[in-house]
Chains A and B, each alone.
Chain A
C-alpha cells in the first residue's frame, strides 16, 4: 500500500517537473526552487512567531519574493543564480534565528522544508496534482520577458515547487526539476520534452520498485536511478550528435538565423 502511493507520487512529479525544469534551465535560475521553498518556510516560522496561521504568512512572504524576483529583467547584467543564492541564504538565516526563539518550531519547519515521499497519502497526491496542474497552466504559456510574464512564471513555479517540497522533499523535487532537462539538453538549448518525460517516468517506476526490492530509502534510490538513466541518455545523445556533424551544423545555422530574427530560442512542449 505504501509502495503504491510512493510510486504514484513519484510519477506525478515525473510528469510535471521535467517540463518546468526545461523552463528553469533556459532562464538559468536553477536555485529558484530552493530559494522559494526557503522563503515559504521562513514565512511559516514568522507566522508561528507572530501567532498567525503559518500557511498565510508563508503565502505572504512567498508573494513578496515573487514580486521582487519578477522585477528583475531576464537580461539583467546581474548573475541571476547569485541573486537566487542570496535570497536563499537570507531567508534561511532569518528562519534559523526564528527557530532558535520558538519552542517546537524546529520540527514544524523541518517538516515544511523536508517532506518525505513516504509521508504522502492519496489526499496528498490529489493536492500535489492539482497544484502541479495550476502551476503548469501559469508557467508554461509562451515565454514573456515582461513584469507580468515573469510574475506569472514565478507564481506558477512556486505553486508547483513549494507544495511538492513540502509533500515529497527537496531531494526528489530538485532532482526531477534539473536532471531530465539537463540530460536531453542539446547544444545550448532544451531538447525534446518527450525524451525528458520518458526518462523521468522510467526512473520513477524503476527506482521505486528497486528501492522496495532492495529495502533501500526510496527518495535517494529514485534519485540515483534517475541520475543513472539521465547520464546514459545524455551520453547516447552526445554520441549520436557527434556521428551526425552535418545535422549539428544545420541546427546551429537555424539557431543563428532564428536568434537574429526572434531573439534567443525558447524550449517548447512541441519540440
Chain B
C-alpha cells in the first residue's frame, strides 16, 4: 500500500507526459504538408484536382449519385473537414441544409464562410438569369439567385477554377505559380472540347423539358432551349392542369426529350413522356474520373447520352 501511495505522484507525471506527447504528435504538421481541399460534390473535387494536382490532397463529401440538397453527413465527414485547409463548396444554398452544421461539428474555424479557408461558387460567379424560351408564367416561378448547379456550365467551371487557383496561391505561396498554370491548362482543355459539344447538341437537341432546374446551366452553355420543368417548385407535386399544359407545350414546340436527374422520382416524368409519346432519359451530373479528364468526361458522357437518346 505504502509503495502504491509513494508511486502515485510518479504515475500521474508519467500519464501527463504521455498525454502531452500524444497531443504534440497528433498536432505535428510537417512544413511540407500538402494543403487539404475538401470539395462538397464530385465535380468540384475534379476541378480542385485539375488545379492542385500533386500539390494538394483532395477529398469529397458527397459521392456520385447523392443528391447534394438532402445529403446526410456522417461523423467521418466532420473528421474530414477538421483537417481541411480549404472547403470548396457549390454555394447558392445547395448545401445549406447540412454544411453549416457540419462545419460547426468539425471544429475547424479556418473553413467557416468568409474566411480564407472557404471558397464557394458564389465567390467567383453570379447565378444565371431566366433561361431562354420561358413563358411569363414560368418566369414568375423562377428564382435566378437560387440555381446552384453552375458546374454543369463548362465556362462557369473555368471561372471558378481560376478563383480556386488564386485562393490556393494565397494559402500555399510556394506553389502559387503552379496552381495558376494548371488553371490555365484546365481552361485550354475545356475550351478545346466546348465547340465539339455545342456542335453535337445543335445537331441532336431541340427544345427540352427537365424535371428540376439542375441542367439549366448546361442548357445555356450548349444553346439548348428549355421548354419547362415538370416540378417547378422542388418537392411540390405539380397540378394535373400544369401537366396537361406541358403536354400541349410538348406538341407545340415539338419537344422530343425529358431530362431527369439521377436522384429524382422518375414516375411523373415517365408518365408525361408516355402520354406525349416522347422519350425520358436520366442525365448524370457527375462521373468517375480524375481532374480535368474527369470533368471533361462528365460533359462527354452527357453529350453522348443526349445524342444517343435523341435518335
Contacts and interface: CB of A to CB of B under 8 A. Distances in A.
Verify that A and B bind, or say they do not.
yes
Interface of A: 1-3, 5-6, 96, 100, 102-107, 110-111, 114-116, 118-121, 208, 211-220
A2 B64 CA distance: 33
B67 A107 contact: yes
A116 B267 contact: yes
Given A217-B236, A219-B237, A104 B247 contact: no
B5 interface: no
A103 B65 CA distance: 5
Contacts of B242: 215
B241 A111 contact: no
Contact of B265 (A3, A116, A213): A116
B267 A220 contact: no
Contacts of B66: 103, 106
A43 B249 CA distance: 39
A200 to B, nearest CB: 19
Contact of B244 (A1, A96, A114): A1
Contact of B237 (A5, A106, A220): A220
Contact of A217 (B65, B239, B266): B239
A212 B240 contact: yes
Contacts of B64: 103-104
Given A103-B64, A107-B263, A218 B240 contact: yes
Contacts of A3: 240-241, 244
Q: A3, A106, A110 — which one has the most chain B CB atoms within 10 A of its CB?
A: A106
Given A107-B265, A114-B265, A116-B237, A2 B243 contact: yes
B291 to A, nearest CB: 20
A214 B267 CA distance: 23
A211 B265 contact: no
B137 to A, nearest CB: 10
A217 B242 CA distance: 10
Given A2-B243, A2-B247, A116-B268, A104 B262 contact: yes
Contacts of A118: 237-238, 240, 243, 267-268, 271
Contacts of B272: 2
Closest 3 CB pairs of A and B: A119-B267, A103-B65, A104-B65
B72 interface: yes
Contact of A1 (B72, B74, B247): B247
26 contacts: A1-B244, A2-B247, A3-B240, A5-B271, A103-B64, A104-B262, A104-B263, A105-B65, A107-B265, A107-B266, A115-B265, A116-B268, A118-B238, A118-B243, A118-B271, A119-B267, A119-B271, A120-B271, A121-B274, A208-B240, A211-B240, A212-B239, A215-B239, A218-B237, A218-B239, A218-B240
B214 interface: no
Contacts of A2: 240, 243-244, 247, 271-272, 275
B218 to A, nearest CB: 19
A112 to B, nearest CB: 10
B83 interface: no
B209 to A, nearest CB: 14
Contacts of A114: 265
A115 B240 CA distance: 15
A100 B65 CA distance: 10
Contacts of A110: 263, 265
A82 B244 CA distance: 43
Nearest to A219: B237
Given A105-B65, A111-B266, A119-B270, 17 more contacts: A2-B275, A100-B72, A103-B63, A103-B64, A104-B262, A106-B65, A107-B261, A107-B265, A110-B263, A111-B267, A115-B265, A116-B237, A116-B268, A118-B267, A121-B271, A215-B239, A218-B240
B238 A96 contact: no
Interface in B64-117: 64-67, 70, 72, 74
Contacts of B254: none
Contact of B264 (A107, A121, A212): A107
A106 B67 contact: yes
Contacts of B264: 107
A4 to B, nearest CB: 9
B73 to A, nearest CB: 10
A91 to B, nearest CB: 17
Nearest to A107: B263
A96 B73 CA distance: 12
B210 to A, nearest CB: 15
A119 B275 CA distance: 11
Given A114-B265, A118-B271, A217 B238 contact: yes
Nearest to A102: B65
Q: A6, A116, A118, A220 — which one has the most chain B CB atoms within 10 A of its CB?
A: A118
Contacts of A1: 244, 247, 275
A217 B238 CA distance: 5
Nearest to A3: B240
A103 B238 CA distance: 27
A102 B262 CA distance: 13
A81 to B, nearest CB: 27
Contacts of B244: 1-3
A212 B242 CA distance: 8
A106 B270 CA distance: 18
A6 B240 contact: yes
